[in-house]
Amino acid sequence: MSDGQQVILAIGGHVGDMELTAGGVLAAHSLRGDKIVTLALTAGERGVPAGRDVADYRRQKVQEAQAFAEMLGGESIVFDIPDGELQNDEEMRMRVCDVIRQVKPNVIISHFKSSMHKDHNTTHLIVGDARYYAALGGLKRELPAHFAAKLYYAENWEDAVDYKPYLYVDFDQEAFDLWVKAVSQHWFVTGSKSFPYLEYYKHLARVRGIEARKLYAETFMIPPETLRLRQSEL
């Protein structure tokens, strides 16, 4: 890692979760020369289009994750856990811990705690513990300990209960265009009949940008224990 370069690890329950919800910010950081890594704990293959084979769609999802990451000059990792069967157990916490130690991120982005989706909630819990484990010098694994200093939770329509935007991160037209091009590699983003994903998140980026008095923005929550402002005077 070069001096000043950030490493951002975006961890989703499925391929496409982080690409949609934090993709504009990821694209902006990639254009600045920062390293982007996406980790999907499942491929999300059970959202398979009608008439398609689930195993074949999983292979497609893995390729879509790779295509997105490569367009941002980064890399993707997809675990081999079946969609919908993610478990918050020690094995999974350690697997994510090992990825954190391998990638050495400054920043982790993941799901907010309140979700209509089981895998999102489970991912939220796994990531919190895995980040803690990754930082423990006394926890001996193949790689040495690493502390990811910042943890953010992306805004997702499926994780909306109790979500309140805390941090606005803005980005410009170049990053927006790169994000739209990259996230459109995902079939469900452009082809799903159940929800207009691309339209929703493009409009949301503009709305959040207007709220921030900028062109585009994405919002994030942070762990509740860090919800504090520190200053010496009014």
Which of 135, 107, 121, 105 is CA-nearest to residue 41? 121
Superfamily grouping for domain 7-223: LmbE-like (3.40.50.10320)
Structural domain spans, the chain:
7-223
State the Cα torsion 70-129-124-100 to the nearest 10°. Answer: 0
Give me the pLDDT at residue 3, please: 62
Amino acid at site 225:
E
Taking each helix axis from N to C end, the angle separating 173-183 and 197-211, rounded to the nearest 10 degrees, works out to 160
**Cβ(61)–Cβ(15) under 8 Å?**
yes
Which ranges of the chain have pLDDT less than 70?
Answer: 1-3
Q: What is the pLDDT of residues 175-186, one digit of tens each?
A: 999 999 999 999
Give me the pLDDT at residue 50, please: 86
